[in-house]
C-alpha cells in the first residue's frame, strides 16, 4: 500500500502556495447527529506523523493517538452542520457546507485546498480527489480529526439519549441501533430525511 508522505503537498508548496490544507468530513452515512469536517494545514517545516491514513483504515486506539498528535502540532479547524440543517438542505449540501466552514475556520486563510471528492464555494485553488483520504496526507489527517471529533460528540450524546447506544455505533445503522429505533422511536438527534427514520415517523 502506498504510504502517505506529503509529496503532493510539497510540490504545491514549491510552486508558490503558502497555506495548503486538506479537508475531509465524517458522518455522512450516520442516521443521527451532525456531519463534521476538518481542515488540516500542511506545514513543510513540521515532520509528518507516520502512519496517517484514511480514518476508516486506522484502528480506534491509533486514531486517538494520531488525533492528539495532530491537534498539538498542526494548524487545524473543524466545521459542523447540525441534524436540522442536514434535513433542510440534504446531506450532500450539508457535507460541502461543513467543509466550507472548516476551511473558513482555519486561523490562516488557505490558498490551496486538497479536498476529498467535493468542490466547495471557497476562493482558494482546489484539488478535488476521489478517495483523497487514501492518497493525500493532509486529507487523511483531516479525516482523522473529523472522525474523532464526531465520535467524541456522539459519545456525549449517549449520556443524553441512553436508549440508543450512540457510544457503540456513533449513530450508524447497526442492528442494535435499528432495534432501539423500533423499541423507543426517534430522538432529537435522528435525521428525519433518512430511512428508516422517515418510515418510523409515519408509522407512529
Is the preceding peptide bond at 196 cis, omega within 30 degrees of 0?
Answer: yes
Q: Does domain 7-159 have CATH number 3.30.420.10?
A: yes
- State the cell numbers at 155: 459519545
Domain ranges in the chain? Answer: 7-159
pLDDT tens, the chain, 204 aa long: 468 999 999 999 999 999 999 999 999 999 999 999 999 999 999 999 999 999 999 999 999 999 999 999 999 999 999 999 999 999 999 999 999 999 999 999 999 999 999 999 999 999 999 999 999 999 999 999 999 999 999 999 999 999 999 999 999 999 999 999 999 999 999 999 999 999 999 887
Using alpha carbons, list the distances in angstroms from residue 160 to 19, 61, 80, 197. 39, 24, 19, 19
The predicted pLDDT at position 2 comes to 62
Q: Can you spell out the DSSP letters for 60-86? A: HHHHHHHHHHHHHHS-EEEEEE-HHHH
List the one residue out of 49, 36, 9 whose CA is nearest residue 98. Answer: 36
pLDDT tens digits for range 155-203: 999 999 999 999 999 999 999 999 999 999 999 999 999 999 999 998 8
What backbone phi and psi angles, to 5 degrees, belong to 76? Answer: -150, 170
Give the span between the Cα atoms of 32 and 163, in whole angstroms.
13
Amino acid at each position: 500500500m502506498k504510504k502517505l508522505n506529503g509529496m503532493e503537498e510539497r510540490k504545491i508548496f514549491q510552486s508558490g502556495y503558502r497555506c495548503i490544507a486538506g479537508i475531509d468530513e465524517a458522518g455522512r452515512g450516520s442516521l443521527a447527529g451532525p456531519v463534521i469536517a476538518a481542515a488540516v494545514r500542511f506545514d513543510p517545516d513540521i515532520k509528518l506523523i507516520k502512519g496517517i491514513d484514511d480514518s476508516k483504515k486506522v484502528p480506534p486506539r491509533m486514531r486517538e493517538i494520531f488525533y492528539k498528535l495532530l491537534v498539538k502540532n498542526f494548524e487545524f479547524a473543524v466545521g459542523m452542520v447540525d441534524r436540522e440543517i442536514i434535513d433542510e438542505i440534504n446531506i450532500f449540501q450539508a457535507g460541502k457546507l461543513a467543509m466550507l466552514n472548516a476551511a473558513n475556520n482555519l486561523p490562516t486563510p488557505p490558498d490551496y485546498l486538497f479536498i476529498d471528492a467535493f468542490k466547495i464555494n471557497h476562493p482558494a485553488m482546489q484539488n478535488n480527489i476521489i478517495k483523497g483520504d487514501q492518497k493525500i496526507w493532509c486529507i487523511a489527517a483531516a479525516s482523522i480529526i473529523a472522525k474523532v471529533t464526531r465520535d467524541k460528540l456522539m459519545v456525549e450524546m449517549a449520556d443524553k439519549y441512553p436508549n440508543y447506544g450512540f457510544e457503540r455505533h456513533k449513530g450508524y445503522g447497526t442492528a442494535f441501533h435499528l432495534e432501539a429505533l423500533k423499541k423507543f422511536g426517534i430522538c432529537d438527534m435522528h435525521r428525519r430525511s433518512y430511512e428508516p427514520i422517515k418510515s418510523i415517523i409515519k408509522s407512529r
